[in-house]
């Protein structure tokens, strides 16, 4: 597959695996030089970069813990330097753990808020000076079905993702019109995050979804790539639910 000439840079947090890796590949196909961020899966991140390069695209793998404001700033600066600018930021990192309120410690809570919500604030703030230099730019936050329907096994995740929707709308208001800010809210998607429950009961999960199946990461990535395009300039402050119909607004 051949890529268009380099348009600008894009940062995708948590792109070594799952949905983030698929988003990185799609943005590279749209002509972006992609910063493939990871925390501990360095080899997997390098495989994502190699696969993008095999298709004729450009990418770099950058280790940064998105819970660390300084590390995020450094990553964003490296990406902008590598690709001569930064036009797209995808806040994709998310971590979820099963826990009841009884078992959930304040440290667990703070960690979930840091990785699912504060990370997006840090990255948006770090990216802003670069995004402002572009003729138009995009911030896309990956939320979750749980932001809308809650969770009986992860209050910290559902609350953090709901917070991400508030961040999305507020940044959309503040940064309009040149920078659009939207959220994509996936339902069950086949990644490491859902591997155990899909191995245990995929049929049961699928039977509760009107689409009768879970999503593949590429489906989420194609929507993100559209929101990242110039054609999506009239969409801002929105949450696009991509969940096979399991929740309808």
Ligand X SMILES: NC(=O)c1ccc[n+]([C@@H]2O[C@H](COP(=O)([O-])OP(=O)(O)OC[C@H]3O[C@@H](n4cnc5c(N)ncnc54)[C@H](OP(=O)(O)O)[C@@H]3O)[C@@H](O)[C@H]2O)c1
Question: What region does 14 belong to: left with phi over 0, alpha with psi -120 to 50, or beta?
Answer: left
- Check binding of 118 to ligand X (CB under 6 A): no
- Check binding of 83 to ligand X (CB under 6 A): no
Question: What region does 155 belong to: left with phi over 0, alpha with psi -120 to 50, or beta?
Answer: alpha
Residues whose CB falls within 8 Å of the CB of residue 199, separated by 6 or more in sequence, listed in order: none
**Which among 55, 61, 70 has a CA at the least distance from the CA of 43?**
61
Interactions with ligand X, residue window 50-79 (CB under 6 A): 65-67
Nearest to ligand X of 30, 95 (CB atom):
95
Q: Is the peptide bond before 177 cis (omega within 30 degrees of 0)?
A: yes
Q: Which of 76, 120, 131, 144 binds ligand X (CB under 6 A)?
A: 144
- Structure token pair of residue 89: 């930021």
In the complex, least distance from residue 145 CB atom to ligand X, rounded to whole angstroms: 6
- Check binding of 26 to ligand X (CB under 6 A): no
- Check binding of 85 to ligand X (CB under 6 A): no
In the complex, least distance from residue 108 CB atom to ligand X, rounded to whole angstroms: 14
User: Taking contact as CB under 6 A, which single stretch among the options 3-11, 86-94, 127-135, 233-241 is the one that binds ligand X?
Assistant: 86-94
User: Taking contact as CB under 6 A, which single stretch among the options 4-12, 51-59, 166-174, 184-192 is the one that binds ligand X?
Assistant: 184-192
The reply to whether 157 belongs to the active site is yes
In the complex, least distance from residue 204 CB atom to ligand X, rounded to whole angstroms: 15
Nearest to ligand X of 38, 130 (CB atom):
38
User: Taking contact as CB under 6 A, which single stretch among the options 38-46, 75-83, 170-178, 232-240 is the one that binds ligand X?
Assistant: 38-46
Between the alpha carbon of residue 91 and those of residues 97, 196, 236, the distances in Å are 19, 24, 16
CB 20 within 8 A of CB 61: no
d(CA 231, CA 225): 10
Between the alpha carbon of residue 158 and those of residues 154, 179, 248, the distances in Å are 6, 26, 17
Q: Which of 8, 28, 35, 41 binds ligand X (CB under 6 A)?
A: 41
Which residues are known to be catalytic? Answer: 157
**Which positions touch ligand X (CB under 6 A)?**
13-20, 37-41, 44, 65-67, 92-96, 115, 142, 144-145, 186, 188-189, 191-194
């Amino acid at each position: 597959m051949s890529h268009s000439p380099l348009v600008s840079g894009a940062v995708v947090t948590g792109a070594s695996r799952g949905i983030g890796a698929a988003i990185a590949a799609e943005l590279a196909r749209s002509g972006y030089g992609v910063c493939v961020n990871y925390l501990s899966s360095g080899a997997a991140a390098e495989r994502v970069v190699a696969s993008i390069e095999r298709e004729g695209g450009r990418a770099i793998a950058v280790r940064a813990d998105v819970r660390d404001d300084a590390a995020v700033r450094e990553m964003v600066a490296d990406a902008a330097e590598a690709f001569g600018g930064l036009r797209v930021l995808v806040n994709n990192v998310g971590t979820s753990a099963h826990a009841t309120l009884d078992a959930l410690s304040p440290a667990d809570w703070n960690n979930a808020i840091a990785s699912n919500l504060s990370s997006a604030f840090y990255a948006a703030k770090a990216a802003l000076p670069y995004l402002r230099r572009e003729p138009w730019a995009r911030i896309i936050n990956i939320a979750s079905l749980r932001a809308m329907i809650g969770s009986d096994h992860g209050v910290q995740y559902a609350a953090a993702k709901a917070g991400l929707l508030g961040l999305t709308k507020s940044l959309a208001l503040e940064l309009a019109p040149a920078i659009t800010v939207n959220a994509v809210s996936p339902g069950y998607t086949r990644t490491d995050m859902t591997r155990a429950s899909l191995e245990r009961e995929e049929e049961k999960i699928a039977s509760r979804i009107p689409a009768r199946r879970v999503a593949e990461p590429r489906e989420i990535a194609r929507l993100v790539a559209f929101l990242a395009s110039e054609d999506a300039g009239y969409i801002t402050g929105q949450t696009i639910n991509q969940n096979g119909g399991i929740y309808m607004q």
